[in-house]
Amino acid sequence: MPTIFTRIIDGEIPGTFVWRDDLCVAFMSINPIADGHTLVVPRAEVDHWIDLPAELSSHLFTVSHVIGRAQQTAFACERVGLIVAGFEVPHTHIHVIPTRSMSDLSFANAASSVPRERLVQNAAAIRAALRALERTEVSE
């Protein structure tokens, strides 16, 4: 049975995407810890990140780096945090989170839900910053 992330990637469940390429996608978390919280997810269903082929792992972290740069511009944050937890969904994903303090990296602070308009607005800000970085992988 496909994971919820595969269903989002395949368009069965709505997602607010900011990036698409042949190996991965990035979309907004529906339970964000902070505005702009983005998930970088491989298209391949690999449960544990340590089981990723080295090339795919490298690609995911490169994309996370680019997304983080865009978030820093879009949200004027002090730092961008990165979390690979892997307990919520059995499909590798990297949380890329604009931060102002360590408390911004606590899942205890995750929103139980946010209005769709807020996700769309945050995604638009990240896309604009990605375009300014001349990235062609920007997803609408």
pLDDT of residue 135: 95
Q: What is the pLDDT of the chain when averaged over all its residues?
A: 95
CA angle in degrees (0–180, nearest 5) for 128-28-14? 110
> In which residue ranges of the chain is pLDDT below 50?
none
pLDDT of residue 134: 95
3-state secondary structure the chain: CCCHHHHHHCCCCCCCEEEECCCEEEEECCCCCCCCCEEEEECCCCCCHHHCCHHHHHHHHHHHHHHHHHHHHHHCCCEEEEECCCCCCCCCCEEEEEECCHHHHCHHHCCCCCCHHHHHHHHHHHHHHHHHCCCCCECC
Domains of the chain: 4-132 (3.30.428.10)
pLDDT of residue 58: 98
Percent of the chain with pLDDT over 90: 90
pLDDT in tens, 25-61: 999 999 999 999 999 999 999 999 999 999 999 999 9
pLDDT of residue 86: 84
